[in-house]
Amino acid sequence: MAISNKNKERLNNMNKRARDAQLGTVIQTLQNNQNQDLAVGSLVIGDGAGAPSALDAKGDGKIVVGNGTTATSVAVSGDITLANTGAVAIAAGAVNTAKLATGIMLPVSVEDAKTTSVEENVAGLSSAIALAESLRTNLDAHAADAVEHTAADSDNFPLTSPTATDLPTLIALATEMLVDFNAHEADDDADAGSYHDAIEGSDATLASTSAPTTLAECITRLNDIKAKYNIHEGDSDSHDVGGAHTESTADAANGAAILVVDANVSSGDDVSWSILDSGTGSVTGVSAVAADGGITFTFSADPQGDCIISYIAVTTLS
């Protein structure tokens, strides 16, 4: 059924009166608020009963945030700081590896000019330890051999230093060997020794009995002990027969790789490096492998103590 123009006019008037009533309510609410004291920096928000209330929003650097029930003024915290000018800054230390995307490569160690050292030589240390421990076995066996001697040398042997596993323990063992072998060898220099049949036929005096303090000195002293011990041990003038406990382990010697200690490096890191000065040995680079706490650099030959390298180690986030 069509609505007459007269009825349309009546409906329009009713809607207008309803809108006017609603607007009047809003205006009255605003007027009521104006009549109340509203502190500087406060905002008008609805409370739990639907009535207007004041929210203090003037805290320095604070922001108004909804919490699912109402709105509140809170300080910015966490990874950023907010100034009252609106400027935002990332907090110190906020960006860590846990917050970066996987696959990103981060540098963990950089060295612009590293000069190689003979003290870092991998084969130098390992070969010196191998020789020292083999010498320990043969020296102890030789000194305890009462067939070769008039009596076993229990005054100077067995050697009591801990097993050599690193440079400090190697130095300790080599130092004890120098003292004890020197004392044992000196016995067959005497006309009436305590352990030997007679004065030695071949001189086995050590080149030096000074305690080593470096890997290079350990290598030199141990190789000398080996050579002089074999001379002494094979001497049939001072022993019944001689040659029962010969030392056959290869001389200690440096190799083509060095281990650079670097606490920032871990196994699996990638290393990029170059040789800035090939040094006396005119070496070239072969490889660089990272491990926990260090990098093994391998050269074409012994880099000695004057090759200069640069490197950067990076880790890939996963």
For residue 310, being part of any structural domain is answered with yes
Q: Which residues of 151-178 are buried (b: 16+ CB within 10 A; e: fewer)?
A: eebeebbebebeebeebeebbbbbbbbb
User: Whole-number mean pLDDT of the chain?
Assistant: 87
47: its two tokens: 């409370």
For residue 223, being part of any structural domain is answered with yes
Residue 208 dihedral angles phi and psi, to the nearest 5°: -155, 145
Residue numbers in the chain where pLDDT is lower than 70: 1-37, 48, 50, 95-97, 99-103, 191-192
For residue 189, being part of any structural domain is answered with yes
Examine the domain organization and report whether 269 and 290 are in the same domain: yes
pLDDT of residue 307: 98
Examine the domain organization and report whether 177 and 202 are in the same domain: yes
Examine the domain organization and report whether 191 and 281 are in the same domain: no
For residue 225, being part of any structural domain is answered with yes
Q: How many residues does the chain have?
A: 318
Using DSSP bridges, classify how beta strands 80-82 and 257-261 pair: parallel, antiparallel or unpaired: unpaired
Examine the domain organization and report whether 264 and 213 are in the same domain: no
pLDDT of residue 73: 79
pLDDT of residue 17: 63
Measure the CA–CA gap between 56 and 39, rounded to whole angstroms: 8
Name the DSSP letter for residue 119.
Answer: G
Examine the domain organization and report whether 113 and 132 are in the same domain: no
pLDDT of residue 191: 67
pLDDT of residue 142: 97
For residue 21, being part of any structural domain is answered with no
For residue 77, being part of any structural domain is answered with no
Q: Which residue has the tokens 């049939």?
A: 236
CA 78 to chain centroid, in Å, comes to: 29
Examine the domain organization and report whether 227 and 148 are in the same domain: yes
* Boundaries of domain holding 293: 105-120+255-316
Examine the domain organization and report whether 265 and 163 are in the same domain: no
pLDDT of residue 309: 98
Examine the domain organization and report whether 219 and 273 are in the same domain: no
- Amino acid occupying residue 131: L
For residue 49, being part of any structural domain is answered with no
Examine the domain organization and report whether 126 and 229 are in the same domain: yes
201: its two tokens: 């036929």
With 0-12 / 13-18 / 19 or more C-beta atoms within 10 angstroms meaning exposed / middle / buried, residue 43 is middle
For residue 87, being part of any structural domain is answered with no
- pLDDT tens per residue across span 155-204: 999 999 999 999 999 999 999 999 999 999 999 887 668 999 889 889 99
